[in-house]
Structure 1
């Protein structure tokens, strides 16, 4: 076992707290719901970027490539000043949902380059312009471009021309679990010598100003035998710690308190009035206000001021050490360098055991940065909804009506965890269905953390008493696709493969809570009681004719092909888990039978509810559609060829004969259904005919080995899925068929047209939100589920069942090969082509040709449906981090 694996084991067994410190700072705390105390719930406007430097946060902290302890009591990050900017560069800048022409969008360049799962070694990179940062220009230009225009990015402003920027690389290495070595390397890529102020900053999260009777902690400068600048940290929960700073940098102290005059234009109310406030260091450095920092060298925020003259092409290195060791007389001796080198070597050894040997250097780099992004995207997420609704004792009362506003039905939710974020700048809050996808690549490197992520969402302080899982902080009551059971089963399998034994206690604990969630779905989202579900937008925002979370302009409701399919998939996932648990406890055979029955009823409804002209399945088109049911009972298909009609493919599983032999009661009930409920097995599941290896299959899109005819639903759907003029792109599966580029779908209501057009990049409709877009781009989560589903179909049907891929090409493939082909196309997004360019970066010249940029990988939220260029949030390592799992699978399949 390599050393990093040993550290993981020690952390898992609670022997050594190797994960106490990590990259748990957000990249953006301002503009979040947690910090919103407005009357109208306008989070972007209530706490804008302009206030972030001067207003103390209530629920968390942010910083550039920073770290904190697991309860975010003590934080460390870098600050920079190039001598020209109007403010210190203390946090990442971007545009809010109201400012960007395609919604919120980060406007800086930073990269997560490496991390071990215990964060024993971490490396990140930030690119800082030497010219004045164009804050106002970025706002103005994007706002005037409108939705039809391209986003205006930082590279477009020219501030990186002639290489006039710094690469600021931040590295962390743990000598012990509580002795953290820090190395910051500043490289001047510009043509002339430049002066940069580097201000490594340490501060305490403000936990004392809200009326909780918390003892105020303290930082202070001390005289130390080393002769170096040393800060002593006094924090009751953490105990004493010390920050050692190499060299002779002066220490600038202030307090992490709101500057009321700067933020609100009024003096601070007593007793909180203090001249030393959150932006005191900014005032001192940028505006030469000497009275803004505390001359007594004490406070709750401190920065070491390094003024670096950096020659063209040169690199300056600054070293610090955050430690629980008080008497380090030589904190930066040879041991410091040796620990860094050792941790880097151990990181290489850890990933060498994980990455297949036949994966080339380019793919290995992509996968390593994907894992780094997953691990850097951990964040301390703190949000007590009851306290947020009622307000704090030492703060102004919340606006009238707040207790009837956002999240009022989630008063029980009390989060204070390290959670995997979709993107720590654009989405610095957990999203339940995103988190399920995060869990798979995370399980490859740290199964314990992946399991914890899935477990906490079902705990009583997250899950609603009625069984609903919280969606995300903007609306915990929104409905995400029910993929939690799928992720739980997959993480269980991944760990079982790694360790030779699955964590049955984890599986059973989550399963028991998911029973409540499944019941909530059945009781709340099946309006007609006919096993056809109307779950709201279900994550696929902006993909249909109407906003499915809002009242319909026609009245009535939509019977959703995807909502019903998600529930069929959920039933099969729960069936699979129940069968695994039943091998140790026969009680679960009863539950397995119940989920088997649920699946049969849902599958029957998918194919037979309504008359022939208004069923979810359209025999003429060979595709599933949503059905609009009007108040008078009339029904009409909404014939949009979208991911909605492909999701039925996700509802598939196979039953192994060996497993059935172990569970005779379940097998007996299975055979009883086959013999006695013939109306339920019609055209919905291959329960009776045995496939490869005598296994059986349950699926919505049925096909049987003895009846491979063109009318089979599977073949009909695959014909569209694999058609390059419809869903199949060179870079994966589009969310909307390209058919709608020439044939937009138009539905009129009272003379008002509602239309769906193919939009391969940014959305041309604001139907659901600023930059929500499922109208054509490629999304990794649903592509990944398609790949897994095709592999399951192949597992049952074998190599003899083949389809054209692409449709019309005459090239036949079995479904395992089709799955591999889709996977290859997805990986192609990131890989260098024959000209060493990556489709990911489209026409962005720096990323395609500059040696300082071209091997840096960003993981976007989604990708252009025709050319593979990255779009949306560009640190969406969350579900796009699935690329790491695809690379793993491709390497293993080639072995």
Structure 2
């Protein structure tokens, strides 16, 4: 059996081979957790400049780092190019207010490989040899407005002459608590250049906050100039073995209060001691000459020749008596490399194209590197600690005050460990699909954790994200639960019904919260606020409307219809072994019918969400004066009702007699409801039954608009807003003020939601994936008998499956080189497009330009863009039945 699969089967939680991993975040400064300011000014309470001197309360950060599963012991890399005035200990980026489109990391780094247990990992950091342009990045970005593109590191010209180091950071586990580390730095310049490498180990500060159980300080001791002994009360003893360093440096992970606040330090060797020692070129007084502390680094200073490289090796191990720690290093290293390749050869056995295999493997690597230890006790955070480094003044603005029950201390999948170093509930749901192909147990645990009583609010709400847990994300967790169940079952042969049942009960609480809180009038038409689509509407839907009143949302109602069908399908599956759940299946079947009735008929004040003129779904605005009007914006809001689709076959129904009988009774005795859903009594392909908000005509009309290249269909997927609004913006007049929604294919032009998110034109992977998933269900029912025109107005007629595969290809083409050798995601960046040392390196951006496919937003948000790995699988899977369509371009 494949070694990595054996390791995965040994434990289902983050222990054993998964006790240690890439759980160290890339940014702790500027986060809500570290914000103790009176007015909730998280970006300024701890800045990038302060970070090297400030001991964090809730987490740690580093470059290419690892930690244990509770973040007690941390290891990462620091560098110095002998030009910068600070060490490169952390990735630099702009805070939310500094960036012209919000927070923005300004570094070049790539996650290249990882196995699910992190038995092997590899990443690349590109470090300039000239002084890093910190000030220029800040100043130029502040000069630019929201209509300007972002000023990136490559735009500074600092890479133009290849004066940089490619630093490859690699890890391989000799055993569960035994890490092998290599760092290889390549000089890409045509002249020699100096580089100091500083592999650094330290303890998360738990001793400064005044809790008796954490008063004991862990200790790092230097042994000679090659070993660092690690002593931690909870984790025991380890050693960091360093091969031929120039020396060892020690300080303490304590705040330099003198530098930051003008107050005396707790001790002589504060957190920034190693930085100060190196930058001052060895000045005394910054590091402990007795080689003891809570932070330490091995120093390697090398002059690397032009085109040459240097490699250092280390070993971090619970085997503390090794006399020759590097004797078996190469043998173990090669073994883990072979095991990693064997694991991916098996996982990618259906993908034959070399380029697509590379894209997919790096997407998987990004998913696995973006794990993070996430620690946040909201009650403690709100109260403040007994012993604060700066006297706690209390808060005027108490963020998340109604979430005092929330206590998180878990390994979670992050959207991006720099720009989004905190879980986002609906992002996480999408992450689990890709993670399920790698590690089904971890994926299931992610969904289970977010539903636990120490996350979910007692009222049933799922926390959104740390800036505001009370915001409302789309209810996609039941969908993700079912998809993960299916993937796990497909890969392992049996379905984990216990996982479904546990999730179902918690999801039922959340569903009830939605019904009680977001159906304002009790008429099965839902609001919900921004629902993850940020600035897609004419107003900020998460805030009170400027004219008062409320909005009945096509997307909110569509999401809830989808939720009912997801819960229905889960209940049916559980019922196969627990027949009592047929009652729940019946409940959700009837609830779906009521939502379908409300959405497809005249709504409040005789305004329907469906517009017969445009043949499209829109939000309905209800004003205090009882006036109602459609907000006729052709956006993803009107496509989301497609998500509410489920297929039930006769074989399943025959095993659920009570449910089947109830369904037939409702359809017989409530013809008004039966007529509003699709043709239940007309079985489709393979004796299947279709439950959908959309009957044949409306489904075709929405698909017609969605597949129109002058509207939603881009060369690179489905746009969030119709291109129709490029020449015809939607306008809403209120008190002589014009509110406008215009097609914007790239970054946001407005500050709504911080301005770093845009749903007015770009292509987003999560909603594209949901559309694809829904289209394939429609095909499952209709088969080849139903043909559609794709693209609209092209004269080409094909099945829904054929059209869906074409959409999948358009999304894949964002990353695949075209006939001219360009990668759409990299736009006009000549360095990334053409430089040999940038080839085979992929960034998985947050969203993509609606016209040209260029990557936008967070450039390492593998999170939901990691779905590219699933789409590559889909492309191969669904092409097997489409012989007429060639594989590839």
Change (3 A) 1:602 1:298: same
Separation in 2 of the partners of 1:362 and 1:491?
26
Q: Aligned-residue CA RMSD in angstroms?
A: 1.3
State the match for 1:706 in structure 2.
Answer: none
1:87 positional shift: 0.3
State the match for 1:330 in structure 2.
Answer: 324
State the match for 2:458 in structure 1.
Answer: 465
Separation in 1 of the partners of 2:407 and 2:424?
15
State the match for 1:100 in structure 2.
Answer: 99
Q: State the secondary structure of the residue aligned to 1:27.
A: coil
Structure 1 residues 716-755: aligned runs within 5 Å: 716-755=701-740
Separation in 2 of the partners of 1:432 and 1:399?
31
State the match for 1:304 in structure 2.
Answer: 298
State the match for 2:81 in structure 1.
Answer: 82
Q: Which moved more, 1:860-869 or 1:139-148?
A: 139-148
State the match for 1:529 in structure 2.
Answer: 522
| 8 Å CA contact 1:579, 1:592 repeated in 2 | yes
Unpaired runs of 5+ in structure 1?
A: 704-711
Q: TM-score, normalised by structure 2?
A: 0.97
Aligned match of 1:871 in 841, 853, 856? Answer: 856
1:397 positional shift: 5.2
State the match for 2:502 in structure 1.
Answer: 509
Unpaired runs of 5+ in structure 2?
A: 881-889
State the match for 1:316 in structure 2.
Answer: 310
| 8 Å CA contact 1:221, 1:229 repeated in 2 | no
State the match for 1:245 in structure 2.
Answer: 242
1:354 aligns with 2:347: yes
State the match for 2:146 in structure 1.
Answer: 147
Structure 1 residues 852-891: aligned runs within 5 Å: 852-891=837-876
Separation in 1 of the partners of 2:752 and 2:199?
43
State the match for 1:72 in structure 2.
Answer: 71
State the match for 2:886 in structure 1.
Answer: none
Q: TM-score, normalised by structure 1?
A: 0.97
Structure 1 residues 633-652: aligned runs within 5 Å: 633-652=626-645
State the match for 2:233 in structure 1.
Answer: 236
State the match for 1:9 in structure 2.
Answer: 9
Q: State the secondary structure of the residue aligned to 1:307.
A: strand
Structure 1 residues 542-691: aligned runs within 5 Å: 542-610=535-603, 614-691=607-684
Separation in 2 of the partners of 1:63 and 1:40?
28
Q: Deviations over 1:258-314 (max 9, x none)?
A: 00122223323xxxx211100000110002331100011000000101001100111
State the match for 1:280 in structure 2.
Answer: 273
Change (3 A) 1:146 1:619: same
Structure 1 residues 353-372: aligned runs within 5 Å: 353-372=346-365
| 8 Å CA contact 2:356, 2:872 repeated in 1 | yes
| 8 Å CA contact 1:451, 1:491 repeated in 2 | yes
1:352 positional shift: 0.6
1:263 aligns with 2:241: no
Separation in 2 of the partners of 1:565 and 1:436?
18
1:290 aligns with 2:284: yes
1:410 positional shift: 0.2
| 8 Å CA contact 1:674, 1:688 repeated in 2 | no
Q: State the secondary structure of the residue aligned to 1:138.
A: helix
State the match for 2:199 in structure 1.
Answer: 200
| 8 Å CA contact 2:350, 2:873 repeated in 1 | no
| 8 Å CA contact 2:482, 2:566 repeated in 1 | yes
| 8 Å CA contact 2:13, 2:441 repeated in 1 | no
| 8 Å CA contact 1:356, 1:892 repeated in 2 | no
Separation in 2 of the partners of 1:148 and 1:476?
30
State the match for 2:883 in structure 1.
Answer: none
| 8 Å CA contact 1:33, 1:473 repeated in 2 | yes
Separation in 2 of the partners of 1:266 and 1:757?
52
1:851 positional shift: 1.0
Q: Which moved more, 1:582-591 or 1:121-130?
A: 582-591
1:690 positional shift: 1.2
Separation in 2 of the partners of 1:473 and 1:685?
40
Q: State the secondary structure of the residue aligned to 1:462.
A: coil
Aligned match of 1:830 in 815, 821, 827? Answer: 815
| 8 Å CA contact 1:217, 1:234 repeated in 2 | no
Separation in 2 of the partners of 1:124 and 1:789?
36
Separation in 1 of the partners of 2:442 and 2:185?
33
| 8 Å CA contact 1:378, 1:420 repeated in 2 | yes
Q: Which moved more, 1:719-728 or 1:611-620?
A: 611-620
1:676 positional shift: 0.6
State the match for 2:417 in structure 1.
Answer: 424
Separation in 2 of the partners of 1:401 and 1:866?
45
Q: Deviations over 1:152-207 (max 9, x none)?
A: 11101111121100011000000100110000001000111111010100000001
1:817 aligns with 2:814: no
Q: Deviations over 1:628-685 (max 9, x none)?
A: 0011221100000000000000000011100000011111111111111111122333
Q: State the secondary structure of the residue aligned to 1:79.
A: strand
| 8 Å CA contact 2:504, 2:567 repeated in 1 | yes
Aligned match of 1:782 in 764, 767, 779? Answer: 767
Q: Which moved more, 1:764-773 or 1:792-801?
A: 764-773
Number of aligned residue pairs: give it.
Answer: 877
